Amino acid sequence: MKKLYAVLLLVCLCLCAGCGEQQVQKSDIVLDTAVTLTADGADAKAAIDESMARLKNIDGMVNPNVPDSDVCKLAQYAGSGHWVSLHPEVYKMLAFAQEYAAKTNGAFDVTTKPLVDLWGIGTDHAKVPSPQELMAAQKLVGWQKLELNEENHSARLQEKGMGVDLGGIAKGFAVDEVRQIYAKYGIKDGLINLGASSMYGLGLNKEGKSWRIGLRHPRKDDAQQKMAVLSLQDAALSTSGDYERFFEAGGVRYHHIIDPRTGRPAQSGAMSVTILADASVPDGGMLTDLLTTAVFVLGPEQGTRFLQTLPRGVEGAVVDGRYQLWTTGNMAAEMENVSEEFQFWQGSGELQ
């Protein structure tokens, strides 16, 4: 009996040492983003350290300011006919991007880079370009002009002046990579947070509840002002909005999500897009990141229609300019504490 008590006491001590004390959190700026990684478990510190190193490693492949990054090499050899050998990670992102460029009729297009650079949104040289500048940049955009060779993981861009921008997909890809590292270290509870725009919630938080994520109000300057709250448990979550990076001129909001078909910041009627993918969805981080951008370009109606064509486990909410929430799947039921300013779109012009 005494022995049994001793064993029970030991188990209790281990568990108590486990609650709270083993949660590790680390923040850093990587991928141009304030990253916060949280993990609970015996190997939490090792998992987080390896994850941070991995994020920096991915940054080095996709960062246009790193001279020998894969994206720089692609731009450098554009139009030369030379195939650029890529890291498998970059190849995977490009192949995924191309698949969805085709599925969205080019709404998502990583070759949008010349337009992204021309508008310069979020930089100190942001401006409304002249029609001539726009036309010249638009000629250099088109996902069909990005060729991939699966056999040797290489790629080339057909015209000089072209480039790829992985800003709409790399953070989601990185979330999936961190998730794999967490799995390797047996982390069951944690939050992978890449600047709130791409996240993955594993298991439960310290209070033993699912992670609660506030969705930002798209028209309140204070980032703490929430539109609604979502519970995140073993799922990827991504949000894109026209409030993230923008400038205003002549009453128009020029933001960072470009419609490659017009060459201009998308005026699709959307203010923000949130997408959830459960654990059954492969590459859920990358997919949700890509979809927020794509659905934003497509707009509330076309965007939600497109989401409905995707496999189960993916669902989303689009906020339009009239504060209406267009949702798919179970999203409407999952949104809690929805601010009174917003209403759920019911179709045919009727609101709930």
Start-to-end CA distance of the chain, whole Å, equals 63
Q: Report the nearest approach of ligand AMP to the CB of residue 326 (Å).
A: 17
Q: Does 292 bind ligand AMP (CB under 6 A)?
A: yes
State which residue, 61 or 175, has the beta carbon closest to Mg ion.
175
Stretch that binds Mg ion, among 24-32, 201-209, 219-227, 240-248 (CB under 5 A): 240-248
Q: Which of 38, 51, 69, 112 binds ligand AMP (CB under 6 A)?
A: 112
Angle at 311 between CA 318 and CA 208, to 5 degrees: 70
Q: Does 256 bind ligand AMP (CB under 6 A)?
A: yes
Q: Does 328 bind Mg ion (CB under 5 A)?
A: no
Question: Could you tell me the two tokens for 299?
Answer: 């707009």
Partners of 189 in beta bridges: 40
Q: Which of 293, 304, 327, 328 binds Mg ion (CB under 5 A)?
A: 293
| Nearest-10 crossing angle of helices 44-62, 88-103 | 70
State which residue, 168 or 190, has the beta carbon closest to Mg ion.
168
Length of the chain: 352
Q: Report the nearest approach of ligand AMP to the CB of residue 256 (Å).
A: 4
Q: Does 168 bind ligand AMP (CB under 6 A)?
A: yes
Q: Report the nearest approach of ligand AMP to the CB of residue 51 (Å).
A: 20
The pairing of beta strand 324-327 with beta strand 343-344: parallel
Q: Report the nearest approach of Mg ion to the CB of residue 210 (Å).
A: 23
Q: Does 59 bind ligand AMP (CB under 6 A)?
A: no
- Cα–Cα distance, 48 to 191 (Å, whole number): 11
Q: Does 254 bind ligand AMP (CB under 6 A)?
A: no
Tell me which residue of 174, 138, 176 sits closest to 159, measured CA to CA.
138
Q: Does 111 bind Mg ion (CB under 5 A)?
A: no
- Cα–Cα distance, 67 to 306 (Å, whole number): 37
Q: Does 293 bind ligand AMP (CB under 6 A)?
A: yes
CA distance to 183, 207, 323, per residue, from 189 (Å): 10, 11, 34
Q: Report the nearest approach of Mg ion to the CB of residue 176 (Å).
A: 13
Interface positions, 192-221, toward ligand AMP (CB under 6 A): 197
Tell me which residue of 201, 217, 200 sits closest to 209, measured CA to CA.
201
**297 interface partner picked from ligand AMP, Mg ion, none, CB below 5 to 8 A per type:** ligand AMP
Write the burial class of residue 117 (CB in 10 Å: 0-12 exposed, 13-18 middle, 19+ buried).
middle
Q: Does 289 bind ligand AMP (CB under 6 A)?
A: yes
Which residues are near ligand AMP by CB under 6 A?
A: 108-110, 112, 116, 165, 167-168, 197, 240, 244, 256-258, 260, 289, 292-293, 297
